[in-house]
Structure 1
Amino acid sequence: MADTAAKRLKLSPVTIGTHNGHFHADEALAVYMLRLLPTYADSQLIRTRDPALLQTCHAVVDVGGEYDASVHRYDHHQRTFNTTFPNRPTKLSSAGLVYMHFGKAIIAQHLAVSEDAEEVGVIWNKIYESFVEALDAHDNGISAYDPKAVAAAGLEKRFSDGGFSLGAMVSRLNPNWNDPTPSDPVQAQAAEDERFLVASSRMGEEFSRDLDYYTKSWLPAREIVQKAYATRLDYDSKGRILVFDGQSVPWKDHLYTLEAKEGGDAKVLYVLYPEKPTPDAKWRIQAVPVSKDSFESRKPLPEAWRGFRDEKLDEISGVSGGVFVHAAGFIGGNKSFEGAKDMAVKALDI
């Protein structure tokens, strides 16, 4: 008899527990991330607030009032909870907790390397800062800007962006208050669980796209940016021009990191790259933004050049082969590398 019970227990699926009722982006993503791992790949989901049922689960996220990684309990609602991701200020949600503990395993599995590989740590930090942290802040009611400082500055929003987030997307997947609900409690819970699984899948798609981008595009670009940064003095004695010979790559994050690591006041002002990886490609000259997401450039292309094209641009700039300069001055083009370089060198002193 005991033997049969033991076999039954062994054959029972691994379960993940979270709360039922209105669902949010953090537990939707937490469940998805866990299911990326072999242990939870075929797991059963139990959505309940019943402590007895939650006690039977292998892992519990966003409910239960307990954070204890040793027994896979990842709730953040208790008064004493104040855990943050290493070197970040934002209190974690259930998504941040799961990512902090399992993110490296997910990334290592994706890259087919060991968890202690240097690139795993780099991407683990990057994905938290670029994706997961905003979700943690949203779930914990933490504003991107200090509300008191915003009020003191007299700043007001120009438009509402409340619906333009992943959190808002998940919220819209919840049932409306007046949607018809099955009278049978089991059927009603099953219908709600189906909606949650849609939300979990949607959050997971975005997470997986981010993971793909940072592992397959962003990370390989790092070495290319490092090489370009190391040779920037070949084009300007102060290192203000960065050249990608071959093709452009995602460079902003890596450039800012390299500059911060080196220190000092010298900053790259213009980045040059071919429009496509062919010998006859036209070249672009791009002004470096003040920050990654800023529309303000460190040094826009000269105002007198802006909005002009072709021969007229050649005449005004004094550089032949001009293609265009954007009206906002953040980007321009030339038919050749030499022309783009001459535009950049000339723009430095205007």
Structure 2
Amino acid sequence: MSPVNIGTHNGHFHADEALAVYMLRLLPEYSSASLVRTRDPSLLDQCHTVVDVGGIYDDSKKRYDHHQREFTNTFPEHKTKLSSAGLVYMHYGRAIIAQHTQLPIDHQDVQLLYLKLYDDFIEAIDANDNGVSKYDSSKLEEAGIAEKFKSGGITLPALVGDLNHEDPLNPGVSRATADQPQAEEDYRFGQASALMGNAFLRKLHGAATAWLPARAVVKSAFDTRESQHPSGQLLVLPRAGIPWKEHLYNIEQEAGIDDSKKILYTIYPEKEEPGTKWRIQAVSKDMNSFVNRKSLPEPWCGVRDAELDQLLGPDVEDGAVFVHASGFIGGHKTEAGVRAMAAKALAG
């Protein structure tokens, strides 16, 4: 065995320990670690780190099981009980992110990404492994809400579950190791670990290279909002394609501004190219709401082009494109035009 080895259970495997093992191996101290899949306590005792088996959670001993009756641990400020993936992420997530981003582990951006990745990825793995449903089924039944189709088979945990069975497209793997069933099972676990780990890395990379830089842009736009409109309720983004919503809600919450002063509209260019059209979008009440804080004026809704120009009046230059029937978004051919639309909407 390698001086640093990772232990987990053999037999049927799940998404949580598959991801836990992958995350550990992202760190230099585990990059060449061997994997021991067993339930034999004497073999697990020889392992440097053990996940999802052994009946012990003790970070000082590198033991990360969550199946004990008394185990109730959750990620800070969350309610979902941790799985082995959540345990490993809670203790090693910052180090993994710091290494990926080449930032100091105590950098504020590492902390932002650490919380973001738990919310967007890890918590769902914890919930799945612990049998926690996203919705209260009794409440759904009371409300008469029923599924239109089944989607459970296309989740990452379901795809990992499929790997517990021999691959009909690659039967040679089973035949080549017919006398070594554990080796064949470990091979499929390796596939499951790569599946989970690659998905995690894509999330991390996207958050680090797109989501995080967008926060700085949104924060700058928020800090200068009063220079864009006297109300301070217009957010002007300088580029197309900036994921702004989640950042805006978080920044507003951090700033502690009153509801009456929150951003009502965001304007931004449609594309990166010069001379592109501009959009105006109403801010919804929260991240998951379809109700706007203030919709675009009702007379504009569902109106386009010259007819919309007429409604906007002479103080808005011609070039209106549309306003959606629901009043959540509209467009103009120029930045000046969309700014004028925003000013009229804010004044209304």
**Whole-angstrom CA distance in 2 between matches of 1:59 and 1:87:** 26
Aligned with residue 343 of structure 1, among 326, 341, 344: 341
The unaligned stretches of length 5 or more in structure 2 are none
Deviation track 1:132-157 (CA, whole Å, cap 9, x = no partner) reads: 11111111111223344434444333
Aligned with residue 332 of structure 1, among 304, 317, 330: 330
Give the match for residue 19 of structure 1: 9
Query: How much has 1:219 moved relative to structure 2?
Result: 1.7
Counterpart code for 1:188:
P
| Greater Cα offset, 35-44 or 268-277 | 268-277
Give the match for residue 296 of structure 2: 301
**Whole-angstrom CA distance in 1 between matches of 2:272 and 2:330:** 18
SS in 1 for 2:127: helix
Aligned with residue 281 of structure 2, among 265, 277, 286: 286
Aligned with residue 110 of structure 2, among 110, 116, 120: 120
| Greater Cα offset, 303-312 or 199-208 | 303-312
Give the match for residue 311 of structure 1: 306
Is 1:143 matched up with 2:102?
A: no
Distance 1:295 1:22, change over 3 A: farther
Deviation track 1:202-224 (CA, whole Å, cap 9, x = no partner) reads: 11111111111222222222221
| Greater Cα offset, 175-184 or 52-61 | 175-184
The unaligned stretches of length 5 or more in structure 1 are 1-8
TM-score (norm 2): 0.88
Query: How much has 1:178 moved relative to structure 2?
Result: 10
TM-score (norm 1): 0.88
Counterpart code for 1:344:
A
RMSD across aligned positions (CA) = 2.6
Query: How much has 1:306 moved relative to structure 2?
Result: 3.8
| Greater Cα offset, 274-283 or 22-31 | 274-283
**Whole-angstrom CA distance in 2 between matches of 1:252 and 1:78:** 40
Query: How much has 1:35 moved relative to structure 2?
Result: 0.6
Aligned with residue 216 of structure 2, among 223, 234, 250: 223
Give the match for residue 231 of structure 2: 238
Q: Is the 8 A contact 1:49 1:63 kept in 2?
A: yes
Deviation track 1:264-313 (CA, whole Å, cap 9, x = no partner) reads: 11221211011234442221112223332444433333444344433233
SS in 2 for 1:163: helix
Counterpart code for 1:96:
G
| Greater Cα offset, 21-30 or 257-266 | 257-266
Deviation track 1:330-349 (CA, whole Å, cap 9, x = no partner) reads: 32221111111122233345
Is 1:195 matched up with 2:197?
A: no
Give the match for residue 319 of structure 2: 321
Query: How much has 1:13 moved relative to structure 2?
Result: 5.1
Give the match for residue 89 of structure 2: 99
Q: Is the 8 A contact 1:135 1:167 kept in 2?
A: yes
Deviation track 1:157-180 (CA, whole Å, cap 9, x = no partner) reads: 333332342222222222179998
Give the match for residue 44 of structure 1: 34
SS in 2 for 1:143: coil
Counterpart code for 2:258:
G
Q: Is the 8 A contact 1:232 1:239 kept in 2?
A: yes
Structure 1 residues 7-86: aligned runs within 5 Å: 12=2, 14-86=4-76
Is 1:165 matched up with 2:147?
A: no
Distance 1:216 1:67, change over 3 A: same
Is 1:254 matched up with 2:247?
A: yes
**Whole-angstrom CA distance in 2 between matches of 1:50 and 1:104:** 31
Query: How much has 1:247 moved relative to structure 2?
Result: 4.4
**Whole-angstrom CA distance in 1 between matches of 2:291 and 2:159:** 30
Q: Is the 8 A contact 2:7 2:37 kept in 1?
A: yes
Q: Is the 8 A contact 1:66 1:74 kept in 2?
A: yes
Counterpart code for 1:336:
T
Matched residues, number: 340
| Greater Cα offset, 139-148 or 79-88 | 139-148
Q: Is the 8 A contact 2:177 2:184 kept in 1?
A: no
Query: How much has 1:90 moved relative to structure 2?
Result: 1.2
Counterpart code for 2:5:
T
